[in-house]
Amino acid sequence: MLYRYCAMLLLSVLLFCGPALAHEADQDTGTDPAIVIDRHIQHYVVEPSGAYLLTVDAAKTIVEQRAVQEHGQYYISYNKTLDEVVAIDAYTLKPDGRRVALRPDQIKDQQEAASTDAPMFQDTRLKIIVFPEVAAGDQLVVRYTVRRGTPLFPGHFEDLSSSPFYLNKNFVLVYDMPASMPLHADAVGFVPVPLSPRDVVPAGHRRYQWRYAGGGNQRLEADAVSYLDYGKRLAVSTFADYADFARAFRANTLPATGSAAVPSPAIAALARQLTAGLSDARARTLALSDWVRRNIRYVGVYIGPGGVVAHPAATVLDNRYGDCKDHAALLEAMLAAVGIGSTGALVNSGNAYQLPDTPTLGVFNHMITYVPSLDLYLDPTAESTMAGYLPAGILGKPALLLASGSFAMTPILQPERSRTTTWFDIGRDGRSRFKVSKTASGASAEPWRKTVRETRLAERDQFVRRMLQGLGQKGQGVFDAGKVDSPGKDGSDEYSLSVSGSSEHFLDLPGPSALATTYDVWGGLGEAVFTLGQEKERHQAFVCPAVDAEDETGFRLPKGVRVLALPKPTSLMHGGIHYQSSYARRGSAIVVKRRFTFRHGRATCTPDDYRAMQPALERIMRDLRSQVVVSGR
């Protein structure tokens, strides 16, 4: 992933884990009263090279005791190659005015958590300030300075900020820029602060400053888009536009040659070997992308400016590891070796679907590959996504194409279908033998295949028991993993698995008893519907992926058991929702069939969309909760 230096790691954590801003100021369901931000002054002094000095002056009051554990520490993130933490001054201020100073041993230095999987490849560090004697009512004060000597983008500066979701009394962002480097801004919920006679601006610089407007916050709803898509944030940058940003990013890739994606003799030989006999350009492209995702392991290589500088493709091939930029560079070189042009594309792989008007690195956190001649996007970093498909988080996203500096849009839809068949053979004693089969096709096949392939046999044996427990049943069974070979070996983008066994006390006979008609074992149709309709109401846009799910549930009844009541079939079409269900008797068996599809013109839905689909979702949920009533003699 792309490395993003964040001087205020705490703010970032609170932003993405905390609640979102309310659209209605009088409905504050998200602001946490446990702490109060008394002040947060973040001041950059930028040099013409793009280097800077950052000073942060922050103070927060612990209002409730529960905040002591989480907020009794303060985190300073820095890059040990690019940055120097010049000074730290911190203390605990007691309500009676007593100041408890920080001892040197209460400042810890450690590897950032995201780097622990591959610590030798990353320079990101944390200074952890452990405040002494913290209790409710205390104010925690910190002032520190970080000097960045080597900029990520020479001659440029960019920053993206938002406020944590607490009561903010004074949150100010200050940027002293060289007169030759005008600062562009996209401010939402941050208001400009005019210069006062007391302000001292360094010679040759111009000051830009904003204050956070404050206001109520609303909890982040399930599957909501990123707060940055609609909330209060400040994006500042010296880049005139995204084309300018793309040029700088491209120039940073490998200044000596102009590209990291140069095919070496070894790369060219490998690419020709892998595509031998494949005359179709798409087939060659998919073969090369699949090879990269399977054979180059992901490691975040963030030594020095490595967060935005890709390594030469030949080095990536030799090492057999790299981050997303390195995967993209190697794939680009391999494609070039067989005459197929491509470009890196910057995207957000999370839940951000919009970009600020002012270009910053903040929203971009991933690089994929785009092949213009095929209009095809590839993610060679995504180990569990077969070439030709994209991870769900990348669908419907703006993509900045580095070769041209222009924008494109990743596909909103891709083939993906889930089919689940569940059959119960019920005995006269109420026990049941069962078999559940699931087939995932299209984009979801390889993720399922990889998950099962990497699950230990001992854990598979426990799966049946856990499945039955989830259904409120007790029993045993056997897990059949099916063909777990990668699609490159069996040529299929369809994967099937099954589980069979027996369940005790499945049906209470002679009854009368009710049989549920929905059994969500592996993310079936019912789970898709309930996920889509999980909020009572919505105030934020949310991610609403396409769904194509089909379930069949059957019950073979013992001799003498009568069906007293069978649900009525349901069929409806509403907007992008299509649902059908049927309930039929076939001799001594009952067969329940359901099909649910959902299509939307975008990757996200609005609150208005949600209100419009509520009647259909409620009707479907009622049908999913329906029961078959039976009775023995």
> Are 411 and 396 within 8 A, CB to CB?
yes
List helix spans (H) across 344-499: 445-453, 457-470, 487-490
Per-residue pLDDT at 531 exceeds 90: yes
pLDDT at 66: 95
pLDDT at 493: 86
What is d(CA 294, CA 380) in angstroms, rounded to the nearest whole number?
A: 8
> Are 289 and 233 within 8 A, CB to CB?
no
Closest CA relative to residue 189, chosen from 208, 169, 161: 161
| pTM above threshold 0.85 | yes
pLDDT at 251: 84
Residue with the bigger pLDDT between 12 and 326: it is 326
Per-residue pLDDT at 304 exceeds 80: no
Average pLDDT, the chain: 88
Q: Which residues contact 292 (CB under 8 A, 6 or more apart)?
A: 327, 330, 331, 334, 380
With residue 408 as reference, give the H or E element that holds it.
Answer: strand 407-409
Percentage of residues in the chain having pLDDT higher than 90: 71
pLDDT at 260: 61
Which amino acid is it at 371? V
- If you average pLDDT over residues 76-104, what whole number do you get? 94
- The DSSP secondary structure of 1-26, one letter per residue, reads ------S-HHHHHHHHHSPEEPSSTT
pLDDT band, very low/low/confident/very high, at 460 (cuts 50, 70, 90): confident
Residue with the bigger pLDDT between 626 and 509: it is 626
pLDDT at 522: 75
Q: Which two tokens stand for residue 98?
A: 């007593």
Per-residue pLDDT at 370 exceeds 60: yes
Matching residue, tokens 């794939």: 331
Residue with the bigger pLDDT between 113 and 246: it is 246
Per-residue pLDDT at 319 exceeds 80: yes
> Are 263 and 334 within 8 A, CB to CB?
yes
What is d(CA 176, CA 320) in angstroms, rounded to the nearest whole number?
A: 43
Per-residue pLDDT at 258 exceeds 70: no
Per-residue pLDDT at 474 exceeds 80: no
Per-residue pLDDT at 3 exceeds 60: no
- Burial of residue 525 (CB within 10 Å: 0-12, 13-18, 19+) is buried
pLDDT at 306: 54
pLDDT at 461: 72
pLDDT band, very low/low/confident/very high, at 70 (cuts 50, 70, 90): very high
pLDDT at 492: 63
User: Minimum mean pLDDT among 33-42, 298-307, 317-326, 493-502: which range?
Assistant: 298-307
What is d(CA 80, CA 123) in angstroms, rounded to the nearest whole number?
A: 6
pLDDT band, very low/low/confident/very high, at 34 (cuts 50, 70, 90): very high
Angle between helix axes 324-337 and 265-274 (nearest 10 degrees) is: 70
Q: Which residues contact 564 (CB under 8 A, 6 or more apart)?
A: 512, 629, 630, 631
pLDDT band, very low/low/confident/very high, at 220 (cuts 50, 70, 90): very high
Which domains are present in the chain?
Answer: 9-238 (2.60.40.3140), 245-409 (3.10.620.30), 416-631 (2.60.120.1130)
Percentage of residues in the chain having pLDDT higher than 70: 89
What is d(CA 144, CA 40) in angstroms, rounded to the nearest whole number?
A: 12
pLDDT band, very low/low/confident/very high, at 276 (cuts 50, 70, 90): very high
Per-residue pLDDT at 255 exceeds 70: no
pLDDT digits (tens, 9 = 90+) for 105-152: 999 988 765 543 443 345 678 899 999 999 999 999 999 999 999 998
pLDDT band, very low/low/confident/very high, at 14 (cuts 50, 70, 90): very low
pLDDT at 443: 94
